[in-house]
Every structure is written in C-alpha cells, then in structure tokens.
C-alpha cells in the first residue's frame, strides 16, 4: 500500500443502528472524529517516516515508528470493533465452534464473561478488552488481554477475535463514567458472534 493513503472505512450500519445501546451522537463522534483522527495520524506518520528514512535522520525514525504504531493500532482495532457489533440479535452466549472453544479454553461462557469484563475494568486509563486467537507451541487457543492504548501488539500474537473499546470516548456520552455498565451492554446486546467466529475460521 502506498504510504499515506489509508481511508476511513464507513460504518457497516447506520449511525443510529445501535440505539438504544449506543446513541447516534456518540457513534458519529466516535467514528467521524476519533477513528478518523487515527487514520489521519497513520497517514501522517507513514509519510513522515518515509521522509525521515530518506533523509537519514535516525533520531526521527523511532519517533515516527511509535506514532505509526499508535495510530495504526487505533485504525485497525476500531475497524474490527465496528464489525464486531450488530444491530440485530447481538450479544449473549455464542454457539457453534466459538461457543465450543470458549467452553474448552475458559470453562464456559460465564467464566469467559467474567474474565473479559475484568480485563475491560482493569485497563488503567484508555484501552481495549480483547479476545484473541493465539497460535503457538502450546497449541492454538483463545486468550483475553487488557490492551493499553492501541499499540501494545506484543500481547496478542495471533488473530484478534473481538475487541471492546474502553476509551472514555467510546461510552462517556451515553454511560458517563460507568465503564462496567457499557461492557455489560456490549456483551449482552451488541456482540456479533458470527462475525467474531469468522475471524478464526477464515
Ligand atoms: Mn475508540
């Protein structure tokens, strides 16, 4: 991909499609301002990084690499986050293969739910609760991580299955400071488990 040419993808549903759980006002702000800022920041960082490399400015290279990682993480995770929610029939306990894997790797949906919620609450400041599919010598399996900011990618070597945004901009307008209430609503009413499962099976 040519550096500096990332574009903000549209939401996969209308801005008001997730009401009453997420308001149109919050969705417009979150997508059109916050996600857009990460796309802009990623493009800026890619161009500046290329320029710094061309000019041989070795002091600036790590700075722009760090800016790129932050903004790329934001762009990628928001893209997964939007697709991981559905206006119709979202949330609750998944069936199928993902349901079976949650049973195998967490000992059941309720235990998964408690662990995911704890990760979301445990993020200090801004970040994400993440369910990811880890491939490794111990065998492929599901894991949960509390991700600070966006870019701590070392944590989730593997495929991101589901993310819940717990930056304040993701819920404050509708839930004020009640992050736990937002995470409950996300899990009980919004998660698109079919979409999440497809991220493992593809
Ligand atoms: Mn966000």
Instruction: Tell me the DSSP string of 57-78.
Output: -TTHHHHHHHHHHHHHHHHHHH
Percent of the chain with pLDDT strictly greater than 90? 84
Between β-strands 158-165 and 141-148, what pairing exists: parallel, antiparallel or unpaired? unpaired
- C-alpha span between 1 and 10 (Å, rounded): 19
Say if CB 199 and CB 160 are below 8 A apart: yes
Tell me how far apart the alpha carbons of residues 187 and 80 are, in angstroms, rounded to a whole number.
15
Q: Calculate how far, in angstroms, residue 162's C-alpha sits from the geometric centre of ligand 1.
A: 14
Tell me, in angstroms, the distance from the centre of ligand 1 to residue 88's CA: 22
pLDDT at position 138, please? 78
Greatest distance between any 2 Cα atoms in the chain: 55
pLDDT score of 139 more than 90: no
Q: How far is the CA of 65 from the centre of ligand 1 (A)?
A: 21
How much distance in Å is there from the Cα of 138 to the middle of ligand 1?
32
Q: Could you report the per-residue pLDDT of 114-138, keeping only the tens digit for each?
A: 999 999 998 988 999 999 998 878 7
- CA atoms in the 13 A half-sphere facing the CB of 143: 16
């Amino acid at each position: 991909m040519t550096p500096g040419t990332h574009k903000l993808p549209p939401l996969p549903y209308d801005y008001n499609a997730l009401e009453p759980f997420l308001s149109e006002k919050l969705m417009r702000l979150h997508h059109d301002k916050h996600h857009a800022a990460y796309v802009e920041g990623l493009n800026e960082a890619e161009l500046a990084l290329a320029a710094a490399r061309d000019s041989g400015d070795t002091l600036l290279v790590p700075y722009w690499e760090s800016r790129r990682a932050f903004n790329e993480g934001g762009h990628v995770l928001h893209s997964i986050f939007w697709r991981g929610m559905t206006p119709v029939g979202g949330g609750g306990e998944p069936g199928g293969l993902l349901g079976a894997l949650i049973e195998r790797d967490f000992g059941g949906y309720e235990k998964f739910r408690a662990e995911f919620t704890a990760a979301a609450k445990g993020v200090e400041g801004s970040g994400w609760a993440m369910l990811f599919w880890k491939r490794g010598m111990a065998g492929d399996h599901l894991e949960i991580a509390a991700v600070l900011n966006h870019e701590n990618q070392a944590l989730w070597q593997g495929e991101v299955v589901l993310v819940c945004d717990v930056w304040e901009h993701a819920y404050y307008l509708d839930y004020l400071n009640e992050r736990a209430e937002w995470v409950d609503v996300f899990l009980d009413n919004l998660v698109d488990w079919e979409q999440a499962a497809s991220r493992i099976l593809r």
